[in-house]
Amino acid sequence: MHDYRKLDVWTMSQRFVRDLYLATQSFPTREQFGLTRQLRRAAVSIPSNIAEGAGRGGRKEFARFIRIAAGSACEVDTHLQIGLDLGYLDFEQHARPGSVLETIKARLGGLERSLTAKP
């Protein structure tokens, strides 16, 4: 079992969720059960899957949950773009989370490669 709290990508994704919750507070109330909910759910899924995978006992299973976290990161990226397209986010509000998200995706990819590498 891995201690997920020691993983930089978990810490970064936790901060990302917090920042995203703050950013989506300005979304229209009509989106409370639409885009806002989807965006937050997908964002929460990133650190949650890292933690769940770490707790599963085994590199193969951990790598599978890292791939799920990466998929959630791509989903968040799409939702952020939709928020920008609909005018709920301005470019600056989109660029910063997008940049952090790219770093998270890169680190997830590196972690998955390290978990699946042959010893």
Question: What does the pLDDT read at residue 6?
Answer: 96
Long-range residue pairs from 81-88, CB within 8 A, at least 24 positions apart, any chain: 82/35, 83/24, 83/27, 83/35, 83/39, 86/35, 88/26, 88/27, 88/28, 88/31, 88/35
Cα–Cα distance between 22 and 18 in angstroms, integer? 7
pLDDT in tens, 80-93: 999 999 999 886 77
Tally of domains within the chain: 1
Question: Domain span at residue 79?
Answer: 4-116
Q: Which amino acid is at 20?
A: L
Average pLDDT over residues 58-73: 97
In CATH, what number is assigned to the domain containing residue 32? Answer: 1.20.1440.60
pLDDT in tens, 36-64: 999 999 999 999 999 999 999 899 999 99
